[in-house]
Amino acid sequence: MKSSKNLLVLSLVTSAIALSAPAAFAKKAKVGVEFKEWNITLSEETVPAGEIEFAVKNKGKEEHEIVIIKLNTDVATGRLPVNKDGGIDEDNMTFGVMIGEVEGLAPGKKTKESFNLKPGRYAVICNLIEEEPNGEIEAHYSMGMHAVLNVE
Ligand SMILES: [Cu+2]
């Protein structure tokens, strides 16, 4: 009997904590991301540091992705150094650090993914490179698919 009483007390304490918790655990910041050909639009320019949810929607006609890069220079997000093919070398960055990516999202699809971001300036880019049937190379980054996000 004694132990079940203790259990009841414990569960009351637990639910009291649960009720007071939401205010203590700051709600996750969200950034809406929309793809079109050829741009990336973010719903926010600045977000607080911490866990940030990226809600990504592909409103375009082609597959797109986001690559999140923490920049270590003041360079504009459209002026990052590129390879011959017009894409960014994700394995050998001198201008920043790769934080994460949401890989190829088909047209019309949406997805959510969270990343822990420290204060700084970030580039959010699509780094897909495609070869069209006529041999033309389309590097999405060089065609304009980049945006800046400030984390404070
Ligand atoms: Cu793209």
- Over residues 5-19, the pLDDT tens digits come to 555 555 555 555 455
CA of 147 relative to ligand 1 center, distance in Å? 12
Average pLDDT over residues 132-151: 95
Count of beta carbons in the 10 Å neighbourhood of residue 26 = 10
State the Cα angle at 72 between 143 and 78, rounded to 5°: 15
pLDDT above 70 (res 84): yes
The CATH number for 26-151, chosen from 3.10.20.600, 1.10.1530.10, 2.40.50.180, 2.60.40.420, is 2.60.40.420
CA of 42 relative to ligand 1 center, distance in Å? 14
The answer to whether 144 and 38 are in contact (CB under 8 A) is yes
CA-wise closest residue to 96 among 78, 120, 116: 120
CA-wise closest residue to 125 among 73, 88, 81: 88
Question: Using 50, 70 and 90 to split pLDDT, how confident is the model at 1?
Answer: very low
Q: Which of 7-16, 35-44, 64-73, 102-111 has the lowest mean pLDDT?
A: 7-16
Is omega for the bond preceding 38 within 30 degrees of 0, making it cis? yes
CA of 15 relative to ligand 1 center, distance in Å? 46
CA of 93 relative to ligand 1 center, distance in Å? 19
- What amino acid is encoded at 67 in this protein? V
Structure tokens at 46: 């600045």
pLDDT above 90 (res 86): yes
DSSP-based three-state secondary structure for 77: helix
Name 112's Cβ contacts closer than 8 Å, sequence gap at least 6: 53, 54, 55, 56
